[in-house]
């Protein structure tokens, strides 16, 4: 048996030295980011609400009835907006002091960002040959990407500042739909994500594009089973949520706020009448759906399933009634997939979309809209203030136009082995 060594001289020796340097810098950078996030544990308002929702369920207090709100340490009264099952899941946080709960949520989020990024890199067959083992290379690349994203990209920073659950939901979806094979029935984790927060239901569109009816059935069945469990554990709250609260979109917050980045917010800031707003929103959402389906089908034919998944994620963000900037955590895998596709296809358009996304997420032009006075802003501020929406739509269009042909890619051993029919989405 031969053992591959990286000699001290020549190009391989230089590569080995650069690789070790990259590892050291990555560990230092990731450690610094972790220390910044965990060493100070600032107040994170959403984990505060999650804790109080869990405590309300444990104490038998109403989550939604009679306009129930929770008085946060930040001095703001906020409602619990998730399905009752989420309160059950959040109950363990109620047993922790707020600083400890914030630290736990921060650590979970940081770890899952790395995990989800590694899964994406694996599916892309990124860096299939080089120093060290494949999983080691991809883990370090993921750690470097996460450290940079958390430090500089506004949606990731905001997600940590609020103590949000979005990365958990994203990881459930990625772990379920991205790998070539899974040890569980595909669709199981997606169904759980939908039960915790309804918005991941948009990824049923991806399964429809893949013509994977089995996974869609599993996802829907899991959602129903988890929701029934929530009804058993919190039947009064479940009745209130599914019959009344779900229709009350005003509970979620002021839709005109600059951090609300979606089609509905763009229209709300124009202060149209309710009838005109609904008509324009419906037409725009249908147009966005048509774009996403068109682009998704084309990139799937080009053997780019992860790119298709990110197109559906961006579509879901722009059509959702509420998409706060901290919901846009899908921008990290989107930028990674775009960058890899741009390199492999030598595409200037994809590279431009990647760089534009990085610039927008770092510069954050949404702040050009004056907070709480968004509707009074000038037309150019309104235009730039909706930059996340315009970028997402531009990415979908660019991907649909450019990614039309298969390209060769390096194959790692795990990609070369066939997936069992019971575990694979489709033979790829």
pLDDT, tens digit, 9 for 90 and up, residues 366-410: 989 888 788 888 889 999 999 999 999 999 999 999 999 888 766
For residue 37, give both structure tokens: 């996030």
The C-alpha atoms of residue 347 and residue 338 are separated, in whole angstroms, by 10
Lowest mean pLDDT among 251-260, 299-308, 350-359: 251-260
Q: Which pLDDT value is given to residue 11?
A: 65
Share of the chain above pLDDT 70, in %: 92
Share of the chain above pLDDT 90, in %: 76
The whole-chain average pLDDT of the chain stands at: 91
| Confidence check: pLDDT of 201 > 50 | yes
Q: Which pLDDT value is given to residue 49?
A: 95
CB atoms under 10 Å from CB of 424, counted, come to 16
Q: Which pLDDT value is given to residue 358?
A: 98
Q: Which pLDDT value is given to residue 122?
A: 96
What is the residue extent of each domain of the chain? 14-249, 253-406
Q: Which pLDDT value is given to residue 15?
A: 83
- The mean pLDDT of 266-279, rounded to a whole number, is 93
Residue 415 pLDDT level (bands cut at 50, 70, 90): low
Q: Which pLDDT value is given to residue 217?
A: 98
CA 364, 348, 384: angle at the middle one, nearest 5?
A: 25
Q: Which pLDDT value is given to residue 183?
A: 96
- The mean pLDDT of 117-142, rounded to a whole number, is 90
| Confidence check: pLDDT of 9 > 60 | no
- The mean pLDDT of 155-176, rounded to a whole number, is 97
Residue 320 pLDDT level (bands cut at 50, 70, 90): very high
- DSSP codes, 194-206: HHHSSGGGGGHHH
Which one has a higher pLDDT value, 254 or 409?
254
The C-alpha atoms of residue 388 and residue 154 are separated, in whole angstroms, by 11
For residue 275, give both structure tokens: 């009838």
Q: Which pLDDT value is given to residue 4?
A: 38
The C-alpha atoms of residue 420 and residue 417 are separated, in whole angstroms, by 9
- The mean pLDDT of 185-214, rounded to a whole number, is 98
Across 67-222, where does the E strand assignment appear?
70-71, 77-78
- The mean pLDDT of 261-271, rounded to a whole number, is 94
Q: Which pLDDT value is given to residue 354?
A: 98
Contact (CB, 8 A) for 304 and 409:
no
Distances, alpha carbon 74 to alpha carbons 45, 49, 370, in Å = 7, 11, 22
| Confidence check: pLDDT of 426 > 60 | no
| Confidence check: pLDDT of 188 > 90 | yes
CA 39, 45, 51: angle at the middle one, nearest 5?
A: 95
- The mean pLDDT of 253-267, rounded to a whole number, is 91
Q: Which pLDDT value is given to residue 376?
A: 83
Q: Which pLDDT value is given to residue 413?
A: 54
Contact (CB, 8 A) for 266 and 258:
no
Q: Which pLDDT value is given to residue 348?
A: 97
Q: In the block, which residue shows the tokens 């199981």?
A: 188
Which one has a higher pLDDT value, 35 or 425?
35
The C-alpha atoms of residue 120 and residue 114 are separated, in whole angstroms, by 10
Q: Are strands 70-71 and 77-78 parallel, antiparallel or unpaired?
A: antiparallel
- Backbone torsion region of residue 420, taken as left when φ is above 0, otherwise alpha when ψ lies between -120 and 50, otherwise beta: beta
For residue 79, give both structure tokens: 């409602």
């Amino acid at each position: 048996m031969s053992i591959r060594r990286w000699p001290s001289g020549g190009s391989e020796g230089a590569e080995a030295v650069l690789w070790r340097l990259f590892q050291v810098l990555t560990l230092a950078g990731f450690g610094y980011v972790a220390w910044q996030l965990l060493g100070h544990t600032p107040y994170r308002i959403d984990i505060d609400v999650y804790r109080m929702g869990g405590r309300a369920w444990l104490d038998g207090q109403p989550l939604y009835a009679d306009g129930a709100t929770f008085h946060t340490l930040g001095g703001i009264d906020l409602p619990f907006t998730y399905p009752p099952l989420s309160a059950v899941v959040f109950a363990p946080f109620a047993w922790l002091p707020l600083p400890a709960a914030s630290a736990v949520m921060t650590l979970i989020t940081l770890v899952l960002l790395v995990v989800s990024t590694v899964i994406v890199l694996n599916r892309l067959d990124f860096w299939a040959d080089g120093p060290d083992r494949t999983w080691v290379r991809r883990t370090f690349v993921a750690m470097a990407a996460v450290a940079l994203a958390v430090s500089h990209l506004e949606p990731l920073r905001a997600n940590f500042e609020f103590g949000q659950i979005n990365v958990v939901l994203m990881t459930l979806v990625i772990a379920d739909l991205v790998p070539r094979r899974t040890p569980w029935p595909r669709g199981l984790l997606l169904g759980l994500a939908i039960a915790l927060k309804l918005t991941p239901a948009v990824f049923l569109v991806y399964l429809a594009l893949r013509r994977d009816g089995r996974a869609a059935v599993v996802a829907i069945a899991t959602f129903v089973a988890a929701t029934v469990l929530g009804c058993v554990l919190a039947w009064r709250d479940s009745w209130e949520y599914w019959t009344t609260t779900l229709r009350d979109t005003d509970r979620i917050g002021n839709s005109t706020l600059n951090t609300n980045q979606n089609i509905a917010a763009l229209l709300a800031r124009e202060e149209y009448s309710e009838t005109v707003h609904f008509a324009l929103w419906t037409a725009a959402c249908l147009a966005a759906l048509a774009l996403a389906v068109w682009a998704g089908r084309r990139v799937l034919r080009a053997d780019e399933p992860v790119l298709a998944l990110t197109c559906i994620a961006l579509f879901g963000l722009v059509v959702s009634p509420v998409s706060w900037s901290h919901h846009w955590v899908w921008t990290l895998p989107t930028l990674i997939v775009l960058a890899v596709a741009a390199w492999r296809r030598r595409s200037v358009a994809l590279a431009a979309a990647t760089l534009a996304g990085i610039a927008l997420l770092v510069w954050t032009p949404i702040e050009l809209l004056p907070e709480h006075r968004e509707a009074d802003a000038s037309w150019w501020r309104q235009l730039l203030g909706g930059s996340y929406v315009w970028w997402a739509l531009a990415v979908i269009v660019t991907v649909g136009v450019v990614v039309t042909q298969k390209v060769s890619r390096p194959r790692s051993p795990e990609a070369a082995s066939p997936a069992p029919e019971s575990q694979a989405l489709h033979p790829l």
